[in-house]
Amino acid sequence: MRTAAPLLALLLAAPAAAQSVHVVAPAPGPGVDFTSLAAAVAAAQDGDLVLVRSGTYAGFGLNGKALAITADAGAQVQVHGSLFVVGLAPGEFVSLSGLAVDAGEFSAAVTLQNNAGPVWLDGCTLRGYTVAEATLFDNGTQGLVAQDCASVALSHCTLLGGAALRGEPALLAQDSGVHAYASTLAGGAGHCDAFGVPYCDAAGPALEAHGGTLALQSCALSGGAAAPGLPAATPGGCDALASGAPAVLLGPDADVWAYDVALAAGGATPPCGLPGASVTAGDGQLEQLAGTPFVVRADSPVREQQAASVRVSGQPGDLAGLLAGLAPLPGSPLSAGLLLVGAPSQFALLGRVPAAGELVVVLRAPVLPAAAEGAGWLLQGVRLKGGDGELLGNVQHALVLDAAY
């Protein structure tokens, strides 16, 4: 562990966008502004921050508004019902942090649609709807759907496809730019039943992409497991076969770049369950590159003047840096990866990863301007030197709150 270098302290003390803070808790009380996420989102103005305390909340929709919605430090925030972010204009930015979302019956846990502005998700768990007893008339839902979105970034997220007769994808991307870092995606399991005629449907892939460009870094993807199938009355025979899902299912014009990514096909139970393939390419393209993990994570949210840590996980000897800025980029491709933080920005050198594999840099959050209730910085990890060369790593919307919160 080391203390922050002067350059890092200067970086974090630089002016950031001031925000009003709206506090959400399950019950009214001192310091609580709203008891529902929907009410807080409706009242907030562009650029505001919604701070969510531990509790269970209903789903909500966000239409054409730039907001940061984050669980408080240490809070357990559960959302029962789906969440929608739609209609962001260029220059509008939404971040969702620390939310666990269980999908409603008819929609993905989170649906992102027609967004020209970027959406970042950090530390979120998104569970698609699962049908308890599979029938021909009930469907599960996806963990995340991104449709016609310019830039979606996932960091430290878990996405789970729902299970029904047919398993659903953890992530369904349609004509979108999606960038996933240090995340786990698992497709939903398929099921069988005899509806007059023995029938088994397919399991869901971890990722299903149709069009668009996707970048995956230090992620684990696993296809949904096949149902056991339906054995026949004759020993060794099968009335219906079931298939495990691929980790990645690529439709037409989908282009996927994968660095340090583990792909696992959905498993199966013989003799009537068949394992899936790790990739079903269709007309899409998948480029896989071997590499080593490099992940940077800062404490967030923190209060002004509070001690906070930036942790870097990597290979011993990796030289780590941090880029901080105020404007997100849709994903500018460079030789070292995708640049997602734009100008104005500053760079700080963090140091080398020690033999234990984790570098910890301790800093003190800055004092906010008198009128600011909160402020945010967009962070992106940078590996300057290591066994696998330069690399642009994961992103995070790091938030600092007034001490009163």
Whether cis (ω within 30° of 0) applies to the bond prior to 301 is: yes
Asked if the structure places residue 303 within a domain, the reply is yes
Whether residue 223 sits in one domain with residue 335:
no
pLDDT of residue 134: 63
Question: Average model confidence (pLDDT) for the chain?
Answer: 90
Closest CA to 216 of 171, 252, 175: 171
Whether residue 122 sits in one domain with residue 228:
yes
Asked if the structure places residue 177 within a domain, the reply is yes
How do the residues of the chain divide into helix, strand and coil, expressed in percent and rounded to 5? 5, 50, 45
pLDDT of residue 114: 98
- Domain of residue 333, residue span: 295-401
Asked if the structure places residue 161 within a domain, the reply is yes
- What is the pLDDT averaged over residues 47-75? 97
Counting residues of the chain whose pLDDT is more than 90, the rounded percentage is: 70
Whether residue 256 sits in one domain with residue 113:
yes
Asked if the structure places residue 60 within a domain, the reply is no
> Residue 39 corresponds to which tokens in the numbers above?
């009410």
More confident residue, 84 or 131: 84
- CATH label of the domain that carries residue 312: 2.20.130.20
Whether residue 161 sits in one domain with residue 189:
yes
Asked if the structure places residue 343 within a domain, the reply is yes
> Residue 106 corresponds to which tokens in the numbers above?
């008819």
- One DSSP character per residue, 8-62 reads HHHHHHS--EEE-EEEE-SS--TT--BSSHHHHHHHPPTTEEEEE-SEEEEEEEE
Whether residue 202 sits in one domain with residue 347:
no
pLDDT digits (tens, 9 = 90+) for 276-326: 888 887 778 999 999 999 999 999 999 999 999 999 999 999 999 999 998
Distance CA 146, CA 148 (A): 7
Asked if the structure places residue 217 within a domain, the reply is yes
Whether residue 369 sits in one domain with residue 241:
no
pLDDT of residue 343: 85
Asked if the structure places residue 65 within a domain, the reply is no
Q: 289, 308, 339: which is the final residue of a domain?
A: 289
Closest CA to 291 of 206, 220, 387, 213: 387
pTM of the model: 0.94
Asked if the structure places residue 28 within a domain, the reply is no
- What is the pLDDT averaged over residues 256-274? 88
Q: 289, 305, 328: which is the final residue of a domain?
A: 289
Whether residue 390 sits in one domain with residue 307:
yes
pLDDT digits (tens, 9 = 90+) for 6-16: 445 545 555 56
- One DSSP character per residue, 107-142 reads S-SEEEEEESS-EEEES-EEE----SS--TT-----
Whether cis (ω within 30° of 0) applies to the bond prior to 252 is: no
Q: What's the total number of domains in the chain?
A: 2
The answer to which of 66-80, 103-117, 219-233 has the lowest mean pLDDT is 219-233
Tell me the backbone φ, ψ of residue 270, rounded to 5 degrees: -70, 160
More confident residue, 240 or 131: 131
